[in-house]
Amino acid sequence: MQDLTHYLNGEHVAGTSGRFADVMNPATGEVQARVPLASSAEIDRAVEIAASVQPAWAAINPQRRARVLMKFVDLLNRDMDKLAEALSREHGKTLPDAAGDVQRGLEVVEYCIGAPHLLKGEYTDSAGPGIDMYSMRQPLGVSAGITPFNFPAMIPMWMFAPAIACGNAFILKPSERDPSVPLMLAELFEEAGLPKGVLQVVNGDKEAVDAILHHDVIQSIGFVGSTPIAEYIYGTGCANGKRVQCFGGAKNHMIIMPDADMDQAADALVGAGYGAAGERCMAISVAVPVGDETADRLIEKLVPRIEKLKVGPYTAGNDVDYGPVVTAAAKANIERLVETGVAQGAKLVVDGRNFNLQGYENGFFIGPHLFDHVTRDMDIYKHEIFGPVLSTVRAQSYEEALSLAMDHEYGNGTAIFTRDGDAARDFANRVNVGMVGINVPIPVPLAYHTFGGWKKSVFGDLNQHGPDAFKFYTRTKTVTSRWPSGIKEGGEFSIPVME
């Protein structure tokens, strides 16, 4: 049994609250470590350290800060395999998927190397007689991030890389489900030259979250997780005068038009619906074929692909398609929703309820499920399942398919598969969803664009990474300057007279 730590001021520090959470091996169902759960006093200590070192870090010019990020990228590449293995061991996702988790975070760090350009202000010469105006982007001070279990490398880097590039200190409260990789990232960043205390990791639960929300020194908070908690963090943080961005749940629809390449669409659905056991906020969980003929052809293509999926632990090789879900509670909730779908009349075309992996009977594995004839009023359609369950909702027209995506309370991501450019263009323009894919099933933007949904998938005005991140982690200060004229003429030796 390993006891994990917090990471404060450049050191691994044992927890002092006396409270711990179990870190499971999802493949075996066994406890593999304990993680300390911080008290409010431990949060106070982390904030005190951060506030003491942040001014000196902010005083370093952006180019030199960027050089630390450059070195951090080198170290992430050096330790990619080690990070991926640690991530897989605690989360359960396959090694290639875990490496992708690290890579997508690394790409945001690469973007943040451009901080010297991204932090430039604006200048107006001669705004008035002898008056110039200019703006500066300055760091907030101490920022914090509360991140989820499903991307323990990517999402922390999406938050702390731009925050630190802007000159802030950052306190990370990662998921207690898989905390080892965030601790490793903090060590690597300091190896790259980041001063001690600029990035700290404090593990914890609601007590730590509430301490962050109510701390006067913390200026901004980022969060990714479920919508109810996002609403709570956004409301509480804003009420305490903080800048807050929160990203919540999702129910992502993929519309399949009659002219779509059905093999391409089926391959996309299987990867987007079942990859990472469906534990992605950008997973496609609803397939919307337009017309019964399209639906029948799609189901015919999907069934053999889904039945061939290889489910197993990450140690079984890189040909494993997906691993276990993160906890026994998550597994039980997914199984409950599947039973609800059957009871409410959906047709279970691929039934994964009896899935059993020999030698891993106590692991949190779930077989793949495919529903057909799902309707809007069913629980499996209304709620985010966050598991390897794909629901098919048949639409009789393009307009009906569009309305399904638009009427749902979530608006994180969506996609359309078609050969018709006019339909694709209309869909992209009209759909009220934040990220849209055209023949792309998981439209997660690259690092130099921004990531963010609409409706109840997001709370706040600015998205993650891209230009929005540099706006979120800085304040704009505008200076108006006027210098008296005449000084440059030198001394006046004549007796002054009234003009």
Residues 6+ apart with CB under 8 A from 225: 146, 148, 246, 247, 248
Separation of alpha carbons 221 and 238, rounded Å: 10
- At 333, the amino acid letter reads N
Separation of alpha carbons 261 and 404, rounded Å: 22
The catalytic residue among 112, 166, 246, 281 is 281
| 3-state SS, residue 410 | strand
Bridge partners (DSSP) listed for residue 392:
287
Q: How far is CA 491 from CA 60, 486, 494, 496, in A?
A: 40, 9, 9, 12
Residue 13 sits at φ, ψ, to 5 deg, of: -125, 130
Q: How far is CA 312 from CA 23, 308, 352, in A?
A: 19, 13, 14
The DSSP 8-state label assigned to residue 308 in this structure reads T
Residue among 283, 251, 250 nearest 268 (CA): 283
Q: What share of the chain is helix, strand, coil (3-state, %, to 5)?
A: 40, 25, 35
Separation of alpha carbons 16 and 8, rounded Å: 13
Q: Strands 218-224 and 435-438, how do they pair? A: unpaired
As given in the structure block, the two tokens for residue 93 are 């996702």
Separation of alpha carbons 447 and 118, rounded Å: 13
Q: Strands 410-411 and 454-455, how do they pair? A: antiparallel
Q: At what angle are helices 40-59 and 206-214 packed, to 10 degrees?
A: 50
Strand order in the sheet with 218-224: 11-13, 6-8, 199-201, 169-173, 142-146, 218-224, 243-247, 458-459
Instruction: Tell me, yes or no, if 281 is annotated catalytic.
Output: yes
Separation of alpha carbons 472 and 240, rounded Å: 17
Exposure class string for 193-205: b at 16+ Cβ within 10 A, else e: ebbebbbbbbbbe
The DSSP 8-state label assigned to residue 395 in this structure reads B
Give me the active site residues, please: 281
